[in-house]
Amino acid sequence: MHFTRLRLRGFKSFVDPTEVPIEPGLTGIVGPNGCGKSNIVEALRWVMGETSAKRVRGGEMDDVIFAGSRARPQHTWAEVALTLDNRDGTAPARFNDAGELEVTRRIEREKGSTYRVNGAETRARDVQLLFADQATGAGATALVSQGRVTHVIHAKPSERRQLLEEAAGITGLHTRRREAEQR
């Protein structure tokens, strides 16, 4: 599985529909300070099921919704869609009949988030597991935000072990085991 496209609507500074093609060879996003580079990476993290507002630089999750500007009123919702190419058939079994997957997360002010995979409403948990298994999840080491390197250096051994397990792609396994033990 690999990412092919990210679409943002009403997410942070991306008030107008914006499409970011993710093609082989993409190595960076450049632009002046404050143009939205980090917001794009956060949109990716968010659509994969991020639950911490802090990790998308908000006080609460509603802060990802376009807050308005002098010229434009605030939005009441935000939506991010991530398209995945699954022609290699590596998606988890329940999603694996599709050659292309589109994962969508939508948030409405004061109402929280809903997720869809190819149009069908899906539990947040299943979206998180879909990406945890691919070692790309919202909290995965594949996404290192500004300031994170210092955090890793000062992390407790148990936290560092969690990072290594994520990199090794076994976090999804642990999460499922914990869920099974709670039943």
For Mg ion, which is the closer residue by CB, 57 or 176? Answer: 57
* Binding span for Mg ion by CB under 5 A among 18-26, 35-43, 101-109, 155-163: 35-43
Cα 2-136-104 angle, rounded to 5 deg: 70
For ligand ATP, which is the closer residue by CB, 24 or 59? Answer: 59
Helix, coil or strand: residue 47: helix
Please, what is the minimum distance in Å from the beta carbon of residue 31 to ligand ATP? Answer: 6
- CA-CA distance, 55 to 113, in Å (whole number)? 16
- SS3 percent helix, strand, coil of the chain, rounded to 5, is 35, 25, 45
- Under the binding rule (CB under 6 A), the answer on residue 158 touching ligand ATP is no
Please, what is the minimum distance in Å from the beta carbon of residue 83 to Mg ion? Answer: 24
Residues 62-121 contacting ligand ATP, CB under 6 A: 63, 65-67
Count of residues near ligand ATP by CB under 6 A: 14
Which of these, 34, 38, 60, 56, lies nearest to 47 by C-alpha position? 56
Angle between helices 171-182 and 124-132 (to 10 degrees): 140
Q: Is 36 annotated as a binding residue?
A: yes
Please, what is the minimum distance in Å from the beta carbon of residue 35 to ligand ATP? Answer: 4
Q: How far does Cα 16 stand from its chain's mean position?
A: 19
For ligand ATP, which is the closer residue by CB, 25 or 31? Answer: 31
Do residues 131 and 49 make contact, with C-beta atoms less than 8 angstroms apart?
yes
Selected binder of ligand ATP within 31, 59, 119, 157 (CB under 6 A): 31
Which helix or strand (DSSP H or E) is residue 77 part of? Answer: strand 77-85
Q: Is 17 annotated as a binding residue?
A: no
Site residues, ligand ATP (CB under 6 A): 12-13, 31, 33-39, 63, 65-67
What is the contact surface with Mg ion in residues (CB under 5 A)? 37-38
